Amino acid sequence: MTVAPTRIAVLHGPNLNLLGEREPAVYGHTTLADIDAMLHGVAESLGATVECAQLNAEGAMIDAIHGWRGGRISGAIVNAGAYTHTSLALRDALVGVAIPFVEVHLSNIYAREPERRHSMLAASAVGVVCGFGAASYEYGLRALITHLVSPR
Ligand code: DQA
């Protein structure tokens, strides 16, 4: 019997398409294409696959999350950008599909402006990785795959 490889959805939220040119002192010089390529490589090395999407609109992100249903996606990496701090609707979508996710951020949101220090999503996540630049995604992916193999 062949076992289907773990398939992870990676969801990047608003303005993350501008990575590389957007506030490099905060977010670094790595582009979103670089991050996605790195994630594909890390996933492959762990026997998993990733599918990556970047969406600027909150409703489009919710539709994408709904599309993870049906057993195709085992877990998700979510950087919801500024919607992290505001969107109860995104949290409802993530909880609604009941797919384990890790919240990631390039910057350390807890060391930034007060309005960025609260996440609407964190309490529903398996865990949160922030502050390591593009490596936050790699650490998040490795942690998620470990969690999926042996949940706490
Ligand atoms: C971010 C942090 C958010 O506060 C911000 O709105 C972003 C990027 C990060 O990855 O550090 O767009 O999610």
Whole-prediction pTM: 0.96
Give the model confidence (pLDDT) of 95-113 as tens digits.
999 999 999 999 999 999 9
Catalytic annotation present for 105? yes
Give the model confidence (pLDDT) of 124-140 as tens digits.
999 999 999 999 999 99
Give the model confidence (pLDDT) of 79-92 as tens digits.
999 999 999 999 99
- What angle do helix axes 32-45 and 135-149 make, rounded to 10 degrees? 30
pLDDT-derived band at 151 (thresholds 50, 70, 90) equals confident
pLDDT at 4: 61
Residues written for the chain: 152
Mutate to test the pocket of ligand 1, among 12, 54, 84 (most ligand atoms within 8 A of CB): 84
What's the gap in Å between 1 CA and the centre of ligand 1?
42
Contact 124, 94 (CB under 8 A): yes
